[in-house]
Structure 1
Amino acid sequence: MYLNDRTAIVTGGASGIGAATCETLAKRGADVVVADLAVEDGEALAAVITAEEDGDASFVETDVSDEDAVAAMVGHAEEAFGSVDILVNNAAVASQEADGPIAEFEDEAYEFLTGVNLKGPMYACKHAIPAMLDTGDGTGVVVNNASIAALIAEPGMDIYTATKGALVSLTRSIAVEYAPEIRANTICPGIVETPMLEQALAEESDEDLPTTTEEMIEETPLGIADPADVGRAIAFLASEDAAFVTGATIPVDGGYTAR
């Protein structure tokens, strides 16, 4: 599963699953672009990777909901490392306070959630895929980080689940449209110990909100995942070990959807 001479872009790469993915890809030899809005954390992570791992790293401040910023992100990867070979669309947002049942949804929440969760990956694919095709070696990889919310119902988070379901469909289209030069797959994490999980638990401490997250933790056979568990799954899909895997949707959920 070595990724020497490969360049990977990871959006939302400064923390949580994104940071673990950056570290895992670099351990396997990839040069990594850490793309995030969190400048201090992103620069610190890139410095650690450069000092300690087999691959190199560079940080670029990126708002994935801004197409110009995404185009600049891809350009940064090409300038820093000479190519774009792997794109991991990991950046995402979720908010029970902004989201809600479909009969109550508001345009502001819709624009916020779709801007990051769906437009972001679409912009990244729009600009990264041509860069992958320019390498001419037929080994481009897209890994989209959705959620088990794309596979199961999460009442009260209807907009979020819609964005994640749409991301699964987008991935399948990319897999077919750009084969054999580019492979595209989706991972669907379950409960992972990340800042997003902490935020969800904090929001659910409000007695007016459901305790969905706590219930999911209790009902997951393998318990809470470490971000590195998801990062390793992404690294597998990015590697030649997954050379015949494309268009797949893979739960990384500790058995939650197997119940």
Structure 2
Amino acid sequence: MYLDDQTAIVTGGASGIGAATCRILAERGADVVVADLSAEEGEGLAESIAGADGGDASFVEADVSDEDAVAGMVEHAEKTFGSVDVLVNNAAVASQEADSRITEFDDDAYEFLTGVNLKGPMYAAKHAIPAMLDTGDGTGVVVNNASIAALIAESGMDIYTATKGALVSLTRSIAVEYAPDIRANTICPGVVETPMLEAAMESEGDSDIPDTMASMIEETPLGIAEPEDIGRAIAFLASDDAAFVTGSTIPVDGGYTAQ
């Protein structure tokens, strides 16, 4: 199992892409810190991983928009498993109600969306990278989960789109600043079968999200993705198989942006 002796932190790890990533990393030998706001889901996932073949798992409750909570998350990983080797910044929020066109956005929406989608990964990198460097073995990896919204426009979601584009630029900066000790890459998923998608598809009223999502699925050459499809891409980037891959932005979108 090619992630033996590695410790991975996965934010937003209790469900969807995060949960699939936690399972896959553990199956490949990593010890996993499941970081999430949902204690019930997160603890259950960690227990199921710990009882299976592969790496161990531990849950920590963490609001990534709170720097003290993020610092505690990294400290938890070091105390529990002895190191931090992989950081997967997966936690994110999208909200049609909060988001808007640039001419209509307000500060509350901006603070909410950037707090999780941009400040969260920045706080996590701020605290996890020093922990990675402390290992001294040049194995540090950061994988940031952005979105195809970083590559193409999503009408009416200008703040969300901006946070994802900024995350791509942040990843490149980390890759250059901390090479060769730290590798950093971004993945950009397309439409994935997750609880977040289910909630979006159930939007009512004037929302055009259900129609937009249905159209995107229909137009994606490979159709809709499962969370495991994204988790396997993350596991590849976390492994030595991707030892010469850094600063890259990789669409995992079933060919949507290739058209």
Smaller-chain TM-score range? over 0.9
| Cα distance in structure 1, aligned partners of 2:252 and 2:106 | 31
* 1:124 has 2:160 as partner: no
Q: What is the CA-CA distance between 1:208 and the residue it aligns to?
A: 4.6
Other-structure match for 2:78: 78
Q: In the alignment, which residue of structure 2 is the partner of 1:200? A: 200
Instruction: Give 2:18's aligned residue.
Output: 18
Structure 1, residues 170-208: CA drift from partner, whole Å, max 9, x if none? 0000000000000000000000000110111122x4245
**Following TM superposition, by how much is the alpha carbon of 1:212 offset from its aligned partner in structure 2, in angstroms?**
1.6
Name 1:57's counterpart in structure 2. 57
Map residues 46-195 of structure 1 onto 2, 5 A cutoff.
46-195=46-195
Question: Quick one: which amino acid aligns to residue 178 of structure 1?
Answer: Y
- Distance (Å, rounded) in 1 between the aligned partners of 2:9 and 2:16: 15
* Equivalence for 1:209: 208
Tell me the CA shift for residue 97 of structure 1. 1.0
Distance across 2 between alignment mates of 1:209 and 1:96: 9
Shift of 1:209: 3.0
CA contact (8 A) 2:46 2:59 kept: yes
CA distance in 2, matches of 1:163, 1:202: 24
Q: Which residue of 1 aligns with 2:250?
A: 250
Structure 1 contact 23–53 (Cα < 8 Å) conserved: no
CA distance in 2, matches of 1:29, 1:97: 40
Partners of 1:80 and 1:70 in 2: CA distance: 15
Q: 1: CA distance between counterparts of 2:66 and 2:157?
A: 24
The C-alpha deviation readout for 1:210-242, integer Å capped at 9, x for no partner, is 522111111111111000000000000000000
Look up the SS of the partner of 1:103 in the other structure. Answer: coil
One-letter amino acid of the structure 1 residue matched with residue 182 of structure 2: I
1:200 to 1:208, Cα distance in 2 relative to 1, 3 A: closer
Alpha-carbon distance in structure 2 between the residues aligned to 1:152 and 1:113: 18
TM-score, normalised via structure 1 length: 0.98
Q: Distance in 2 between matches of 1:4 and 1:253?
A: 29
> 2 CA distance for matches of 1:199 and 1:55?
32
8 A Cα contact 1:34 1:46, kept in partner: yes
- Alignment of 1:33 onto 2:64: no
Distance 1:102 1:84 in 2: 38
TM-score by length of 2: 0.98
**Which structure 1 segments of 5+ residues have no match?**
none
Where does the alignment leave 5 or more consecutive residues of structure 2 unmatched?
none
AA aligned to 1:31 is D
CA deviation profile, 1:91-111 (whole Å, cap 9, x unmatched): 000011110111110111000
In 1, Cα distance between equivalents of 2:169 and 2:120: 15
CA RMSD of aligned residues (A): 0.9
Tell me the alpha carbon deviations over residues 47-83 of structure 1, each in whole angstroms, 9 at most, x when there is no partner: 0000013100000000000000000000000000000
SS in structure 2 of the partner of residue 8 of structure 1: strand
Does the 8 A contact of 2:96 with 2:207 survive in 1?
no
Output the CA distance in 1 between the equivalents of 2:115 and 2:154.
20
Percent identity between matched residues is 80
2:51 alignment partner, SS class: helix
Q: CA deviation at 1:88?
A: 0.1
Residues 120-174 of structure 1, C-alpha deviation per residue, up to 9 Å, x if partnerless?
Answer: 0000000000000000001100000000000001000000000000000000000
